[in-house]
């Protein structure tokens, strides 16, 4: 397995370089360094000298990908691409275009994002699997039909509706929790309750239906018939055998997103005033802050690769037959 | 159920209202709660230039002057200065000239500023003095920090000691020098280098110094700036080229606030930047408040500067201010509020609902909430709705010193230029595009149709018939009335476009509007604009583009029409009329005249007017300038927006002032009343929790029974 992991890590390097190159190309197709300077300096009273000075100080006065005026390795290293990208491979994200440390910003904002995303993920997983098992238990009955109809209904409603509706009913009409805000420590619970509940409810429909499909597929297999023939109760069949055997498809969809929980959720954080990472990338794109955009895209790719590797490892844990080689 | 239980438990622990977003311990305290929607980019007074940045900086820094809070029209009064600056005029040989000397003879103006002697900076570690080490007693405690010393430091509050010191004239001079700092991005350097004597050369000298010693701390005190002299501890002089009366307005902006060199030295130490401990993030000021908490992703807190004791509430205002209760606190020490909590609210819905719940003390009004908040009475006056009145919410309005206009590119062959044909076409369009309707539909009536670039409240603006644009309006029954579409069509015929068709080419007239508007909400605006052009059978094509391409088109003059706006730096007509000056043409000079309008007559009058004091003679020149631009119509004059602010009954001394950004120090909060009303408005409804618990319980019992029955049946 160690050899497999090393190989996967080595494979990820060209992927990261490629993602970085693609981000770079896409960003600079839309924004020139002059545009970036104007965005940072504002539109009032900006002189060409100020733009040149800004570019010079931020290192955007160099050629994009190839420095033909330089010689030797400087042709590559004396470019914006190299100077803005190389340090990221040692996780040094540098400074945003407004002069603030990106690494510090990410570490500060990760916590609040996780405070919402992790409980939503864990509670959601338990809730969706339980609901799907319940529907499977009562399959082809009125309860199952009602459950599926409810899932379709919940899937059809926009996530934004849950947020605004939830804030209106729970916070505005019933005054049970603050409409928005955040606080660290125990005092923060009252702020995260509603976003977590809404986050869980918002995905009940799609996730529960997906798990129900997996369970229904498993429940028709021979080993389930054998278990029933042995006289096991339906609950025991479902929880001891079906759930265990359905773990591979569940893990495929679940483990890969665990590392990405750090990245937060744009809508939830924006409406609930959570100071997380959800809007960091979007804000940076709007502000044409390339330093932040490339750092966040790099981090996202890295976490996704980590998620895929973790998924592979998790297969070996839930199914001893799986060997990574 | 788990959630319900959690809420109950946690709320019980806090002891306050369940939906209170603030700690219960803050109840009864003199705190003003407000929100910000966008994090400030800069908090360095040399670099900040946006309204959302000044919202903070104006409370933290104390420049020499400020705008009188109550009096109108807006007038400058001393803030850090002991009295208004004295101005001496000199000729080109530096010989004194009388105050009445003509502007063209004045080669230099010298502003002498005396600052108050008792001003002190906020508490800050940069001022902390070493008391424990006998060898370094009295020296700065934190001026030789190592990365090891900083290992547990993440915010300024992590430094165990802080100190203060008296503000000196040298600090003001130092900040002016910073306006030329080669490592800072200074938005007004271009303007100031044209006026402050020697600033341009000074910037070049500093640039050389940085090249010689890259990475080293640049001590500006080692480099003298000829245009700034420190006379004594509390007096300094600024020398500017020519006569520039508007310079006094700049002295009311944070660009000219004092900066202690210790602060720059402190932040320049190794390891500070990695911790975001920079002047651009943690200001060091001598104003009424200091930034005690800075998390722009969540909240920023300003706390009363304990060393600020130099200012009292104004003793006089306008007629009616006393009746409105605005002079109750006359003579009291400022600030009246101990702390200001700014919370980031990116979305308008939570912001609005928290205001209604009493968790924000004041609020603007978004379009979504407008009908809920404001009603217009028969006389056209905006008042709060009954629902707001029941809550004790009041409304204050003020016309902003801004203008939102639609420009014609003067360089365009069809709509631009001074030909009679193009002029009449522009005049026809100006009549057809009904900005009264635009304001009514898209701004909920929050604005007034503009008659010229100058908004109300600025010298040069005229009320009544004398102030209307006679090319677009008639004065009917004591009010301006837009000319008829027939008049516009007649002008179009005279321009050679009968019925919207070019008489020479027989082609329909098509005009392109370049805009960054592309969202769903923008579509209705563009549809409305097309309809306005349809009235005179002219086709309008909206060319939506991204922000970068739009700016590029404007710079290259590759447009026909475009939307633009201008927010005044200071309340002087020069700050609006320069937008049409030929010397400011965007394409040829890279200036602020985005329409590239050019009129030698206008330019000549502008040069004459710009350095004059307000007087009947200046008004007469402005009248002539406005007549020229109204006739030429290089802009559709658009509208001047109106600011609407709602405030709760516990907030006092609120008077709309669009020029003063430092108004929070005058406001007062009745915290006891706020707490009582919050309690009345926010009692939690417990029944949904009980209902939820019962439903979950019943479902569990039912499920258990069904499962048992199924097992038994098996």
Q: Residue B585 maps to which CATH number?
A: 3.10.105.10
Tell me which of A44 and B336 has the higher pLDDT.
Answer: B336
Q: Reduce the DSSP state of residue B152 to 3 states and report it.
A: coil
Q: Is B316 on the interface with A (CB under 8 A)?
A: no
Q: Is B546 on the interface with A (CB under 8 A)?
A: yes
Model confidence over B566-592: pLDDT tens digits?
Answer: 999 999 999 999 999 999 999 998 889
Chain B: give the shortest CA distance to residue A8, in Å. 33
Question: Is B317 domain-assigned?
Answer: no
Question: Is B267 domain-assigned?
Answer: yes
pLDDT for res B4? 52
Model confidence over B95-120: pLDDT tens digits?
Answer: 999 998 988 899 999 999 999 998 99
Chain B: give the shortest CA distance to residue A320, in Å. 33
- Give the percent of chain B with pLDDT over 90: 78
Give the closest of B19, B590, B711 to A171, CB-based. B19
Give the closest of B191, B297, B546 to A275, CB-based. B297
Model confidence over B472-510: pLDDT tens digits?
Answer: 999 999 999 999 999 999 999 999 999 999 999 999 999
Q: Which residue of B has its CA nearest to A186?
A: B10
pLDDT for res A211? 94
pLDDT for res A316? 86
Structural domain that includes position B479: 402-643
What whole-number distance in Å separates Cα of residue B511 and Cα of residue B400? 30
Domain boundary among B643, B661, B681: B643
Q: Over its length of 325 residues, how does chain A's per-residue pLDDT go in tens digits?
A: 788 889 988 998 999 999 999 998 888 888 888 888 888 887 677 888 888 888 888 888 888 888 888 888 888 888 888 888 888 888 888 888 878 889 989 999 999 999 999 999 999 999 999 999 999 999 989 999 999 999 999 999 999 999 999 999 999 999 999 999 999 888 889 999 999 999 999 999 999 999 999 999 999 899 999 998 998 888 889 988 999 889 888 888 888 888 888 887 888 998 999 999 988 888 888 888 888 998 999 999 999 999 999 988 888 888 877 777 6
Which residues in chain A are contacts of B281 at CB distance < 8 A?
100
Interface contacts (A, B; CB < 8 Å):
162
CB-count exposure of residue A88 (10 Å: 0-12, 13-18, 19+)? buried
pLDDT average, residue stretch B336-357: 95
Residue B263 shares a structural domain with residue B408: no
Domain boundary among B258, B282, B306: B282
pLDDT at B132 > cutoff 80: no
- Yes or no: say if B593 and B579 are a contact pair by the CB < 8 Å rule: yes
Under the banding of pLDDT at 50, 70 and 90, the label for residue B1 is: very low
What whole-number distance in Å separates Cα of residue A296 and Cα of residue A286? 14
**Torsional sign, CA A78, A79, A81, A83:** positive
**How many H helices and E strands in chain B?**
21, 25
Question: Is B479 domain-assigned?
Answer: yes
Model confidence over B415-450: pLDDT tens digits?
Answer: 999 999 999 999 999 999 999 999 999 988 899 999
Q: Which residue of B has its CA nearest to A286?
A: B547
Within 10 angstroms of residue A91's Cβ, the number of other Cβ atoms is: 12
pLDDT at B13 > cutoff 80: no
What whole-number distance in Å separates Cα of residue A45 and Cα of residue B581? 14
Q: Which helix (H) or strand (E) holds B565?
A: strand B561-567
- Yes or no: say if B281 and B43 are a contact pair by the CB < 8 Å rule: yes
pLDDT at B640 > cutoff 50: yes
CB distance A175–B683 less than 8 Å?
Answer: yes
**Phi, psi (5° rounding) for residue A138?**
-105, 35
- Give the percent of chain B with pLDDT over 70: 97
Going by C-alpha positions, the residue among B65, B57, B35, B80 that lies closest to residue B279 is B57
Cβ under 8 Å to A: B residues 563-602: 590, 592
CB distance B551–A99 less than 8 Å?
Answer: no
CB distance A44–B187 less than 8 Å?
Answer: yes
Question: Is B7 domain-assigned?
Answer: no
Question: Is B195 domain-assigned?
Answer: yes
Best of B16, B297, B562 to disrupt the A interface by mutation (most A CBs within 10 Å)?
B297
Q: Which helix (H) or strand (E) holds A204?
A: helix A189-219
CB distance B276–A235 less than 8 Å?
Answer: no
Q: Is B682 on the interface with A (CB under 8 A)?
A: yes
- Yes or no: say if B431 and B517 are a contact pair by the CB < 8 Å rule: no
Which residues in chain B are contacts of A35 at CB distance < 8 A?
548, 551-552
pLDDT average, residue stretch B121-129: 95
Question: Is B322 domain-assigned?
Answer: no
B20-53 core/surface letters (b: 16 or more CB in 10 A; e: else): bbbeeeebeeebbbbbbeebbbbbbbbbbbbeeb
Give the closest of A53, A197, A275 to B185, CB-based. A53
Model confidence over B147-178: pLDDT tens digits?
Answer: 888 988 988 889 999 999 999 999 999 999 99
Going by C-alpha positions, the residue among B250, B114, B113 that lies closest to residue B195 is B250
* Runs of H (alpha helix) within B138-279: 169-178, 189-195, 199-212, 247-250, 261-267
Rounded to whole angstroms, what are the CA distances from A218 to A221, A250, A253, B92?
Answer: 6, 12, 17, 96
Chain A: give the shortest CA distance to residue B74, in Å. 23
Question: Is B68 domain-assigned?
Answer: no
Q: Is B186 on the interface with A (CB under 8 A)?
A: yes
Chain B: give the shortest CA distance to residue A242, in Å. 18
Q: Residue B104 maps to which CATH number?
A: 3.90.76.10
What whole-number distance in Å separates Cα of residue B158 and Cα of residue B60? 20
HEC secondary structure over A54-104: HHHHHCCCCCCCCCCCCCCCHHHHCCHHHHHHHHHHHCCCCECCCCCEHHH
pLDDT average, residue stretch B637-658: 94
| Segment B86-93 long-range contacts (CB within 8 Å, at least 24 positions apart) | B86/B111, B86/B112, B87/B111, B87/B112, B88/B112, B89/B243
CB distance B683–A31 less than 8 Å?
Answer: no
- Yes or no: say if B423 and B632 are a contact pair by the CB < 8 Å rule: yes
Number of domains in chain B: 2
Residue B410 shares a structural domain with residue B544: yes
What whole-number distance in Å separates Cα of residue B311 and Cα of residue B288? 9
Chain B: give the shortest CA distance to residue A291, in Å. 15
Question: Is B377 domain-assigned?
Answer: no
Domain boundary among B262, B282, B302: B282
What whole-number distance in Å separates Cα of residue B414 and Cα of residue B638? 21
Specify the DSSP class assigned to residue B31: E
């Amino acid at each position: 397995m160690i050899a497999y992991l090393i190989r996967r890590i080595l494979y990820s390097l060209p992927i990261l370089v490629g993602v970085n190159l693609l981000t770079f190309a896409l960003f600079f197709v839309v924004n020139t360094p002059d545009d970036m300077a104007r965005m940072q300096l504002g539109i009032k009273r900006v002189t060409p000298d100020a733009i040149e000075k800004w570019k010079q100080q931020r290192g955007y006065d160099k050629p994009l990908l190839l420095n033909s005026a330089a010689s030797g390795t400087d042709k590559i290293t004396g470019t914006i691409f190299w100077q803005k990208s190389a340090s990221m491979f040692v996780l040094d994200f540098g400074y945003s275009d407004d002069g603030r440390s990106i690494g510090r910003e990410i570490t500060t904002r990760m916590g609040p994002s996780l405070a919402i995303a992790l409980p939503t993920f864990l509670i959601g997983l338990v809730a969706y699997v339980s609901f799907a098992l319940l529907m499977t238990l009562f399959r082809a009955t009125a309860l199952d039909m009602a459950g599926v109809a409810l899932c379709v209904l919940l899937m059809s409603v926009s996530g934004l509706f849950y947020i605004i509706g939830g804030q209106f009913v729970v916070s505005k009409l019933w005054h049970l929790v603050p409409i928005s805000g955040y606080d660290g420590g125990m005092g923060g619970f009252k702020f995260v309750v509603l976003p977590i509940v809404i986050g869980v409810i918002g995905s009940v429909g799609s996730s529960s239906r997906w798990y129900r499909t997996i369970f229904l597929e498993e429940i028709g297999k021979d080993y389930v018939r054998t278990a029933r023939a042995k006289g096991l109760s339906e609950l025991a069949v479902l929880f001891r055998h079906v759930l265990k055997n359905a773990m591979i498809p569940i893990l495929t969809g679940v483990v890969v997103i665990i590392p990405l929980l750090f990245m937060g959720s744009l809508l939830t954080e924006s409406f609930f005033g959570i100071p997380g990472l959800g809007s960091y990338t979007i804000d940076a794109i709007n502000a044409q802050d390339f330093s932040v955009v490339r750092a966040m895209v790099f981090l996202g790719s890295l976490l996704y690769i980590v998620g895929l590797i973790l998924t592979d490892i998790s297969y070996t844990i839930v199914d001893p037959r799986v060997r990574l080689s | 159920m788990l959630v319900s239980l959690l809420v109950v438990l946690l709320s019980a622990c806090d002891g306050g209202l369940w939906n209170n977003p603030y700690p219960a311990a803050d109840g009864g305290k003199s705190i003003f709660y407000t929100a910000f929607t966008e994090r400030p980019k800069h908090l360095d007074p040399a670099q900040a230039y946006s309204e959302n940045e000044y919202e903070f900086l104006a409370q933290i820094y104390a420049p020499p002057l400020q705008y009188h809070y109550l009096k109108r029209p807006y007038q400058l009064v001393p803030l850090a200065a002991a009295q208004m600056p004295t101005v001496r005029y000199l000729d080109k040989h530096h010989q004194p000239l009388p105050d009445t000397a003509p502007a063209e003879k004045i080669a230099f103006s010298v502003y002498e500023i005396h600052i108050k002697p008792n001003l002190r900076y906020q508490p800050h570690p940069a001022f902390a003095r070493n008391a424990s080490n006998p060898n370094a007693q009295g020296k700065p405690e934190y001026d030789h920090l190592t990365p090891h010393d900083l290992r547990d430091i993440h915010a300024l509050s992590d430094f165990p000691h802080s100190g203060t010191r008296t503000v000196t004239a040298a600090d003001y001079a130092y900040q002016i020098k910073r306006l030329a700092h080669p490592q800072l991005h200074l938005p007004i350097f271009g303007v100031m280098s044209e006026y402050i004597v020697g600033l341009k050369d000074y910037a070049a000298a500093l640039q050389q110094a940085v090249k010689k010693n890259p990475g080293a701390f640049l001590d500006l005190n080692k480099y003298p700036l000829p245009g700034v002299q420190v006379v004594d501890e509390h007096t300094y002089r600024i020398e500017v080229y020519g006569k520039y009366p508007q310079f006094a307005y700049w002295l009311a902006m944070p660009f000219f606030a004092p900066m202690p060199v210790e602060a720059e030295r402190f932040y320049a130490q190794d390891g500070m930047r990695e911790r975001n401990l920079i002047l651009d993030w943690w200001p060091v000021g001598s104003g009424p408040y200091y930034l005690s908490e800075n998390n722009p992703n969540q909240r920023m807190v300003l706390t009363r500067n304990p060393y600020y004791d130099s200012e009292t509430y104004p003793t006089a205002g306008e007629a009616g201010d006393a009746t409105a209760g605005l002079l109750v606190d006359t003579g009291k020490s400022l600030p009246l509020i101990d702390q200001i909590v700014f919370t980031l609210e990116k979305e308008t819905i939570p912001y609005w609902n928290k205001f209604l719940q009493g968790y924000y003390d004041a609020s603007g009004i978004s379009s979504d909430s407008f009908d809920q908040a404001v009603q217009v009475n028969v006389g056209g006056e905006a008042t709060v709705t009954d629902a707001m009145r029941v809550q004790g919410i009041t409304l204050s309005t003020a016309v902003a010193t801004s203008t939102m206009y639609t420009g014609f590119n003067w360089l365009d062959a069809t709509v631009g230029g001074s030909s009679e044909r193009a002029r009449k076409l522009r005049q026809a369009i100006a009549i057809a595009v009904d900005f009264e309707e635009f304001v009514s539909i898209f701004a909920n009536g929050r604005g007034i149709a503009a008659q010229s670039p100058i908004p109300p409240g600025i010298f040069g603006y005229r009320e009544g018939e004398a102030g209307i644009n006679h090319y677009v309006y008639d004065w009917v029954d004591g009010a301006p009335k837009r000319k008829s579409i027939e008049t516009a069509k007649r002008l179009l015929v005279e321009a050679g476009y009968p019925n919207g068709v070019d008489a020479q080419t027989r082609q329909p007239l098509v005009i392109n509007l370049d805009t960054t508007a592309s969202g769903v909400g923008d579509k209705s605006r563009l549809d409305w604009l097309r309809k306005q052009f349809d009235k005179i059978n002219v086709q309008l094509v909206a060319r939506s583009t991204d922000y970068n391409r739009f700016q590029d088109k404007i710079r290259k003059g590759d447009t026909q029409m475009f939307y633009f706006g201008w927010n005044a730096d200071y309340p002087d007509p020069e700050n609006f009329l320069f937008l049409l000056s030929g010397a400011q043409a965007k394409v040829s000079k890279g200036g602020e005249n985005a329409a590239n309008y050019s009129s030698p007559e206008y330019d000549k009058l502008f040069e004459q007017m710009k350095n004059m004091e307000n007087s009947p003679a200046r008004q007469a020149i402005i009248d002539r300038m406005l007549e020229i631009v109204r006739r030429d119509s290089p802009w559709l004059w658009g509208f001047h927006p109106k600011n609407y602010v709602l405030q709760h009954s516990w907030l006092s001394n609120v008077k709309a002032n669009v020029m003063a950004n430092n108004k929070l120090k005058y406001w007062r909060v009745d915290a006891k009343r706020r707490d009582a009303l919050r309690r009345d408005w926010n009692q939690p409804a417990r029944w949904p929790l009980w209902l939820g618990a019962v439903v979950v319980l019943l479902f569990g019992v039912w499920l258990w029974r069904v499962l048992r029955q199924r097992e038994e049946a098996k």
